[in-house]
Amino acid sequence: MMTANEYIQSLRALGSRRVYAFGKKVDNIVDHPLIRPSINSVAMTYKLAEMPEYADLMTATSNLSGKKINRFSHLHQSQEDLVNKIKMQRLLGAMTGTCFQRCVGMDALNAMWSATYECDQKHGTTYHERFKKFLAIWQEKDWTVDGAMTDPKGDRAAGPGGQVDPDVFVHIVERNDKGIVVRGAKIHQTGVLNSHEILVMPTQAMRPEEKDFAVAFSVPANDPSLLFIYGRQASDSRKLEESKIDTGNITYGGQEAVVVFENTFIPWDRVYMCGEVDFSGMLVERFAGYHRQSYGGCKVGNGDVLIGAAQSIAEYNGAAKASHVKDKIIEMIHLNETLYCCGIACSSQGHKTASGNYLIDMMLANVCKQNVTRFPYEIARLAQDIAGGLLVTMPSASDFANEEAGAWCRKLFTAAPGVPVENRQKMFRLIENMTIGAAAVGYLTESMHGAGSPQAQRIVIARNANMEAKKKMARRLCGIEADGLL
């Protein structure tokens, strides 16, 4: 396994890539002030794995090599593995206060493992063996891998095959004896600049005539044909300021980017789906299920931080003993722990797939994510309620440092006795960051749209509801249908 420092050096070793942020080419992403906080977040997944006290959560034994590996490259081998995944994600969410970006690759590898196995069983393909070899290297090198699923999609009323410009979906433009060539783009790519490899999956179930869009493959993140465009976040330019107080979360951050495939060549040994439209939907659904499970861990860890910040600012304001403040804190805890319950539940009810790894309970995973689209927003609302209006009107750190204005800032914004005004200043900025600013992308917007928007979960919930059985129960109890039990 890599150490955190080795991980950061491994990103340097990838060399220069075609990366743009704020309209300018970025030659050194590792030290760029806009990007480095997100790298620090990923580095925490390596740092905790170095520490003996977290070994049970952060590491596992590979079923491929028998070696100790980072859990983020592990194939789930039991219900316990699924539960430990959630516990690990809660820990990391609390340690970073933001998205730590490595979950998408872990969820993609587990979905790809079972989907390629079952595709081979039906079609006689060799995708599973190819993916197995790729995964063995992934585990050995302890890569961070970006799981790439979401396409721009263009006109939502037209499918992939009905677009004016086919490049709004990743698609195959050439097949030859050496491999395939692909074009298109993936958007909302969490941590892609912090990754060593990119694992691409189709974005939806495909129709028979859309075989060119039913494609899955892996590609090194430093492939010269790739173009990366960094996504903006609220208040992100604060990371470029000399004082870091106004950023809120001083050390850590999240990352989203666009990755463009400009006639990217993929050798056959890195292709894991090539036109099998009947398995495109399965792969999407399994990945989404795993990723919806993930939100019962990572967002709960973020919630732990926000609850702690709300309690702290209440104390700094001198309002912590008010009964309504106490009740709001209790409600925040209740909502956060409910999300954790959902993550644990869908994990503990997981089952073994034909390929040997474990899949979560699909119904409960989607219920988990449906709750995640709602509860963090209420937790954030309560945090803002407790904090008060100074959350969005407090002068900047530069004003506090100013010779003339600073004296008044320190005088006017001191509240509870014994609490340094700087502590209050920092706590306000952390709550602002998590509920309005850059970290709100990872805590709130991801909660809504990550792993599919709310309606996607509702479709799966309806599909798994077994309504006929429920109707039969009702008919039996009201005497419409007898079952001979009494």
Question: End-to-end distance of the chain based on CA atoms, in angstroms?
Answer: 61
196 is catalytic: no
Query: Residues 138-149, buried b or exposed e (16+ Cβ, 10 A)?
Result: bbeebbbbbbbb
Q: Which of 7, 98, 196, 298 is catalytic?
A: 298
222: three-class secondary structure by DSSP = coil
Please, which residues bridge with residue 271 across strands?
Answer: 217
- DSSP readout, 106-171? HHHHHHHHHHHHHHHHHH---HHHHHHHHHHHHHHHT--EEEE-----S-TTS-GGG-SSGGGS-E
* Residue 46 designated active-site: no
Asked if residue 154 lies in contact with residue 163, where contact means CB atoms within 8 angstroms, the answer is yes
Q: Does the active-site annotation cover 422?
A: no
- Residue of 210, 276, 432, 446 marked catalytic: 446
Question: Of these residues, 190, 203, 353, 373, which one is catalytic?
Answer: 190
The active-site residue, picked from 46, 103, 116, 188, is 103
- 126: tokens are 């060799």
Catalytic option among 76, 276, 291, 443: 291
44 neighbors 96 (Cβ within 8 angstroms): yes
98 is catalytic: no
Dihedral, CA of residue 342, residue 101, residue 234 and residue 9, to nearest 10: 160
List Cβ<8 Å contacts ≥24 apart for 388-394. Answer: 388/313, 388/317, 390/428, 391/428, 391/431, 391/432, 391/436, 392/432, 392/436, 394/425, 394/428, 394/429
Q: Which residue has the tokens 């970025």?
A: 26
Q: Which one of the listed residues 7, 45, 99, 358 is annotated catalytic?
A: 99
For residues 213 and 202, the answer to whether their CB atoms sit within 8 Å is yes
| 32 included as an active-site residue | no
Show the CA angle centred on residue 278, arms to residues 277 and 284, nearest 5°: 80
Gap between the Cα atoms of 362 and 456, Å rounded: 13
Q: Is 241 a catalytic residue?
A: no
Q: With beta carbons less than 8 A apart as the criterion, state whether 299 and 376 touch.
A: yes
DSSP 356-395: SSEE--HHHHHHHHHHHTTHHHHHHHHHHHHH-THHHHPP
435 is catalytic: no
Active site annotation includes 99: yes
Candidate list 98, 117, 128, 256, residue with the active-site label: 256
Catalytic residue among 295, 316, 340, 443: 295
Q: Please list the active-site residues.
A: 99, 103, 190, 256, 291, 295, 298, 446
